[in-house]
């Protein structure tokens, strides 16, 4: 997202004719997310019969013991600031959890910050790393915020296309091909939103080699780490030699069904974390204490319940993948997150047109793949974090639509 | 097989109308294996019945339900079994549990009126020889039964589209 010269001109006093003229060129250059248009379309529809597969969050409510722990803490008057980096006992718990489950060790005293969702963690990491003009490599299709946040810091996002034939894995060749002398950061998001792709230990090794060769630093957004099916998640930070080069971003939203709490965390090398802590303390001070108390309860007593939720996603994952294949849509098998990413190329429609007509004519909302960047065109993202009954009905409706297009 | 059966039972407990095809897909196993497992469990009385869970308070036909704590003298040789059977064979008795603690049997009785239940207790239950005492508690409202919440109908509060 390069800013043109004329856009960079800030209008001077006396020359401003509208409120927009007060805005910084940066604010003006940021485009609203492509998802927004779809959100408006679905929200404005008065039709109550719409089934939405467009939701990027669990269909579970936060488990009661977690909510109850928060309510209890409020009753006890826990309403204050916490230390900037987050409650020490929560950082201890995060450290223990990451080491138990993903074999990565971070010192709770100075290598972990509790953030306002994974989103803040991504923002912090990009802000402390980017020098204007730095190129930030982002495998796509991917979550929609990396590129705009990069641009906000003056960085240049460089998309690296990934493909269904590779199960949307990042390959060393395509990474290598995108590197220039200005490349500085590689942003990873595996398991992937929107594709459901994952990276195994063997997949990571050649990537790690390229990262080392080109002295890149990695921001690894592992928010879907718990949601892998058939194999355990491999953190990029756990690859030999990569821990100091990796800023690990994660949170409680997806695994513990805690999206609205906005509880995330970022872990990394002491020097990087202390820079992030400065930004964090001036911008948000600390993550809300209510959420921190709940997150601590989730880590302490919520692992079993979390595993049940993951079993349930896995059952629904099998259902939708089979469903899409049966109605004649190619669908690579997603191994993580809770999205299927079927190809709609065979229908001859673009992602946008397909999704728009699917919504208007058959009352199913899905997100067109092109909003997720390079390589997303020709696909739709369908979340299977929805009831079995709704999924079955949605696939039937999509099937009718696909059939009508092909006959 | 034991594990498969447990997984099948969990899915059927959520929704007993799920067919073997759907269950097989969700569990990533062969449909024939699911059919066989269900057949076996039906034969072995592991799956006893497929019945609807009804919230009767929403139906015009009101019912009165009471929980009755019953103290009894166990019979020589048969313990509580014989007396429990004499009680559970009544159709108006919906459940009977042998309990630890101050009393022996917890009996759930259903009737169409308060008087119905009262007369069952005084005419049928109390006169049984080994019954020493009964304490009747009428149920005023059912909030949750067998893991299923009755009143609360949770709407989906999520935004229809999110990144």
ipTM for the complex?
0.84
Query: In chain B, which residues have their Cβ closer than 8 Å to the Cβ of A392?
Result: 22
* pLDDT at residue A12 in the model: 83
Q: Which residues of chain A have pLDDT under 50?
A: 1
* pLDDT at residue A3 in the model: 53
Burial class (CB in 10 A: 0-12, 13-18, 19+), A256: buried
Distances (CA, A) of A360 to A59, A214, A327, A351, A354: 24, 48, 20, 14, 10
What confidence category does residue B155 fall into, taking pLDDT thresholds of 50, 70 and 90? confident
d(C-alpha B88, C-alpha B85), whole Å:
5
- Here the tokens at position A101 are 């489950």
Among A75, A111, A86, which residue's Cα sits nearest to residue A248?
A111
The domain defined by B2-43 folds into Arc Repressor Mutant, subunit A (1.10.10)
Q: Compare B149 and A148 and report the one with higher pLDDT.
A: A148
CB A315 to CB B27 under 8 A?
yes
Residue-averaged pLDDT of chain B: 93
Among A284, A335, A254, which residue's Cα sits nearest to residue A113?
A284
Query: In chain B, which residues have their Cβ closer than 8 Å to the Cβ of A59?
Result: 156, 158
List, as ranges, residues 150-209 from A with C-beta within 8 Å of B: 193
CB A318 to CB B28 under 8 A?
yes
pLDDT exceeds 80 at position B157: yes
* pLDDT at residue A252 in the model: 98
List, as ranges, residues 22-51 from A with C-beta within 8 Å of B: 33, 35, 38-39, 42-43, 50
CB A57 to CB B162 under 8 A?
yes
pLDDT tens-place string over residues A1-11: 455 555 556 67
Task: Give the DSSP per-residue string, A101-130.
Answer: HH-----TTTSEEEEEHHHHHHHHHHHHH-
Q: What angle do CA A126, A191, A369 make, to 5 degrees?
A: 85
Among A184, A174, A181, A176, which residue's Cα sits nearest to residue A153?
A184
Taking residue A149's Cβ as centre, other Cβ atoms within 10 Å add up to 22
* pLDDT at residue A4 in the model: 56
Query: In chain A, which residues have their Cβ closer than 8 Å to the Cβ of B154?
Result: 61
* pLDDT at residue A236 in the model: 98
Phi, psi of A137 (to 5 degrees): -85, 130
* pLDDT at residue A362 in the model: 96
Q: Which residues of B touch A (CB under 8 A)?
A: 11, 15, 18, 22, 25-28, 154, 156, 158-163
Question: Is domain B62-141 annotated with CATH 2.10.109.10?
Answer: no
State the maximum Cα–Cα separation within chain B, in Å, rounded to a whole number.
Answer: 69
Query: Which residues are within 8 A (CB) of A161 and not within 5 positions of it... i.e. 6 or more apart?
Result: A140, A174, A374, A375
pTM metric for this prediction = 0.92
CB B26 to CB A319 under 8 A?
yes
List, as ranges, residues 377-396 from A with C-beta within 8 Å of B: 388, 392
Torsion of CA A310, A313, A314, A315, to 10 degrees: 130
d(C-alpha B126, C-alpha B108), whole Å:
14
Under DSSP, is residue A220 helix (H, G, I), strand (E, B) or coil?
strand
pLDDT tens-place string over residues B56-92: 888 877 789 999 999 999 988 889 999 999 999 999 9
d(C-alpha A127, C-alpha A143), whole Å:
18
d(C-alpha B156, C-alpha B145), whole Å:
22
Task: Give the DSSP per-residue string, B18-80.
Answer: --HHHHHHHHTS-HHHHHHHHHHHHHTTSS--------GGGSSS--EEEEEEEEEPPBTTTBT
d(C-alpha A323, C-alpha A326), whole Å:
5
Separation of CA A357 from chain center: 26
B92 CA to chain A: closest CA distance, Å?
35
B158 CA to chain A: closest CA distance, Å?
7
Query: In chain B, which residues have their Cβ closer than 8 Å to the Cβ of A33?
Result: 163
Domain residue limits, chain B: 2-43, 62-141
- In B102-161, which ranges are continuous DSSP H helix? 114-120
Phi, psi of B132 (to 5 degrees): -90, -40
């Amino acid at each position: 997202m390069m800013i043109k010269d004329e856009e960079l001109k800030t209008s001077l006093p006396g020359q401003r004719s509208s409120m927009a003229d007060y805005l910084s060129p940066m604010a003006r250059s940021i485009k609203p997310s492509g998802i927004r248009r779809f959100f408006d379309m679905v929200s404005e529809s008065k039709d109550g019969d719409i089934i939405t597969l467009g939701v990027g969050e669990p269909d579970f409510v936060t488990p009661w013991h977690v909510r109850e722990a928060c309510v209890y803490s409020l009753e006890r008057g826990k309403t204050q600031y916490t230390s900037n980096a987050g409650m020490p006992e929560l950082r201890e718990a995060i450290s223990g959890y990451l080491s138990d489950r993903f074999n990565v060790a971070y010192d709770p005293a100075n290598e972990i910050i509790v953030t306002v969702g994974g989103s803040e963690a991504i923002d912090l990491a990009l802000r402390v790393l980017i020098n204007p003009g730095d190129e930030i490599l982002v495998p796509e299709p991917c979550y929609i915020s990396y590129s705009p946040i990069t641009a906000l810091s003056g960085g240049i996002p460089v998309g690296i296309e990934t493909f269904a034939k590779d199960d949307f894995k990042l390959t060393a060749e395509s990474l290598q091909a995108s590197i220039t002398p200005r490349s500085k950061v590689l942003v990873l998001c595996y398991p992937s939103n929107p594709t459901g792709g994952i990276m195994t230990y063997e997949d990571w090794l050649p990537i790690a080699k390229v990262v080392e060769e080109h002295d890149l630093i990695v921001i690894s957004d592992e928010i879907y780490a718990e949601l892998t099916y058939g194999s355990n998640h491999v953190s990029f930070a756990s690859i030999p030699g990569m821990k100091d080069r990796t800023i690990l971003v994660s949170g409680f939203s997806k695994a513990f069904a805690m999206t609205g709490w906005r509880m995330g965390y970022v872990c990394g090398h002491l020097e990087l974390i202390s820079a992030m802590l400065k930004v964090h303390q001036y911008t948000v001070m600390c993550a809300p204490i209510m959420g921190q108390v709940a997150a601590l309860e989730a880590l302490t007593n919520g692992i079993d319940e979390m595993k049940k939720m993951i079993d349930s996603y896995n059952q629904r994952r099998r259902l939708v993948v089979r469903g899409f294949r049966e109605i004649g849509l190619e669908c690579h098998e997603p191994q993580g997150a809770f999205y299927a990413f079927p190809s709609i190329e065979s229908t001859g429609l673009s992602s946008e047109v397909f999704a728009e007509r699917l919504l208007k004519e058959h009352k199913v909302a899905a997100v067109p793949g092109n909003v997720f960047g390079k390589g997303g065109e020709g696909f739709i993202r369908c979340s299977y974090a929805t009831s079995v009954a709704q999924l079955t009905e949605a696939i039937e409706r999509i099937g009718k639509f696909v059939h009508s297009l092909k006959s | 097989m034991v594990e498969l059966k447990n997984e099948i039972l969990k899915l059927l407990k959520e929704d007993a109308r799920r067919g073997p095809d759907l269950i097989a897909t969700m569990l990533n196993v062969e449909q024939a294996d699911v059919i066989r497992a269900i057949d076996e469990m039906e034969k072995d009385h592991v799956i006893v019945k497929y019945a609807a869970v009804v919230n009767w308070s929403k139906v015009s036909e009101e019912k009165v339900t009471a929980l009755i704590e019953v103290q009894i003298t166990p019979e020589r040789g048969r313990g509580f079994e014989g007396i429990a059977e004499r009680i559970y064979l009544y159709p108006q008795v919906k459940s009977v549990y042998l309990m630890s603690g101050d009393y022996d049997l917890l009996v759930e009785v259903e009737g169409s009126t308060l008087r119905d239940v009262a007369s069952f207790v005084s005419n049928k239950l109390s006169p049984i020889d080994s019954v020493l005492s009964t304490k009747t508690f009428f149920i005023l409202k059912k909030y949750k039964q067998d893991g299923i919440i009755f009143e609360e109908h949770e709407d989906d509060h999520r935004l229809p589209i999110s990144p």
